[in-house]
């Protein structure tokens, strides 16, 4: 487990403004990513993750777009984003400090099945974007601090006990285990373009070509794609490249090679796109 120092996390300009991040990973729990950050200027662009994002707001207030609405998570609250959901995030009223876990769908489904004592066809879904649960907030903060310590200070058994206990209580209290998230079925034309972009992430795509694949005019295609995915075609492509880059960096691939493989112009382009969505540089993410 590697804990990255704030001096290496963000651009000098952002650090000078008071933005700092600490990022690390706990591999034995399906590659659980952890982030501790204070943001005064940094703002996330709209993006998605393959994982959940479960964030406890320690101070200040974060505002974020999620499921078509703007939300405000104040100190003492917990924000929850499910996999593949579009969201962003930025300070509201000055700054905010938070602690975030990114548990995988596999881990969350395992714990949900343990909690319920029965199998599920998929991972749990959370109806609320922001929850207020003081007991869980305290457990989240204690768990995050415990996972940040190296093994000379805390044992893996203590870390694992706190993690499973916290996620189990979160799921038992707040997850909708029997319900299903709203399903939006995209049109065949948009799905054809999404499939094409996913299969050609490392290549440049032309708007006219994508509109032709969809069988629509360019302007109609842009409107239809944004309405059904929540992102423009270009933003969707960058989001998918970011997710592919996250997987490769997590496997230890060098940022320069990842930038080339995922269709970025160069490593600096990868850096900008990655930091705008993850809050840390590709090098920091890979080192963890």
Residue with tokens 């029965």: 118
| pLDDT, position 180 | 65
Q: What is the DSSP letter of 183?
A: P
Q: Are 158 and 44 in contact (CB under 8 A)?
A: no
Cα separation of 163 and 146, whole Å? 9
Rg (CA), the chain: 19
The CATH 1.10.10.60 domain(s) of the chain lie at 188-287
Q: Are 198 and 237 in contact (CB under 8 A)?
A: no
Q: What is the DSSP letter of 8?
A: G
State pTM to two decimals.
0.88
- The predicted-structure confidence for 118-168, as pLDDT tens digits, reads as follows 999 899 999 999 999 999 999 999 999 988 865 456 788 889 999 999 999
Average pLDDT, rounded, for the chain: 90
Residue 22 parent element (H or E): strand 20-26
The CATH 2.60.120.10 domain(s) of the chain lie at 6-176
Q: Which residues contact 230 (CB under 8 A, 6 or more apart)?
A: 46, 86
Residue with tokens 């995030």: 89
Q: Are 126 and 80 in contact (CB under 8 A)?
A: yes
CATH 1.10.10.60 holds for 188-287: yes
CATH 2.60.120.10 holds for 6-176: yes
| pLDDT, position 150 | 54
Strand partners, 131: 78
Cα separation of 288 and 271, whole Å? 16
Q: What is the DSSP letter of 64?
A: E
Per-10-residue mean pLDDT of the chain, 288 residues long, equals 43 67 91 94 96 98 97 98 96 96 96 93 94 97 83 76 95 87 76 93 91 93 92 94 96 95 94 94 91
Chain-centre distance for alpha carbon 163: 18
Nearest Cα neighbor of 55 from 160, 170, 159 is: 170
Strand partners, 60: 96
Cα separation of 106 and 101, whole Å? 14
**Cβ burial, residue 79 (10 Å; 0-12/13-18/19+):** buried
| pLDDT, position 8 | 42
CB neighbourhood size of 227 (10 A):
11
């Amino acid at each position: 487990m590697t804990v990255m120092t704030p001096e290496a996390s963000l651009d000098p300009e952002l650090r000078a403004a008071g933005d700092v991040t600490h990022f690390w990973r706990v591999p034995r729990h399906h590659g659980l990513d952890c982030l501790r950050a204070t943001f005064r200027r940094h703002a996330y662009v709209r993006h998605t993750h393959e994982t959940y994002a479960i964030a406890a707001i320690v101070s200040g207030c974060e505002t974020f777009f999620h499921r078509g609405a703007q939300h405000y998570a104040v100190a003492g609250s917990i924000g929850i984003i499910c996999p593949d959901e579009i969201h962003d995030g930025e300070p509201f009223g000055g700054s905010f400090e938070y602690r975030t876990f990114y548990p995988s769908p596999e881990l969350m489904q395992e714990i949900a099945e343990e909690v319920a004592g029965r199998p599920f066809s998929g991972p749990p879904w959370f109806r609320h974007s922001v929850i207020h649960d003081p007991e869980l907030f305290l457990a989240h903060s204690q768990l995050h601090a415990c996972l940040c310590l190296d093994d000379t200070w805390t044992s893996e058994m203590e870390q694992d006990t706190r993690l499973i206990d916290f996620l189990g209580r979160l799921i038992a209290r707040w997850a909708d285990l029997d319900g299903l998230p709203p399903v939006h079925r995209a049109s065949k034309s948009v799905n054809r373009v999404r499939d094409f972009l996913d299969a050609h992430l490392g290549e440049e795509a032309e708007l006219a070509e994508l509109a032709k694949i969809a069988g629509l005019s360019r302007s109609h295609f842009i409107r239809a794609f944004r309405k059904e995915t929540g992102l423009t075609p270009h933003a969707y492509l960058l989001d998918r490249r970011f997710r592919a880059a996250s997987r490769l960096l997590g496997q230890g691939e060098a940022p320069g090679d990842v930038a080339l493989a995922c269709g970025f112009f160069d490593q600096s382009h990868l850096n900008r796109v990655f930091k705008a969505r993850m809050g840390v540089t590709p090098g920091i993410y890979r080192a963890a």
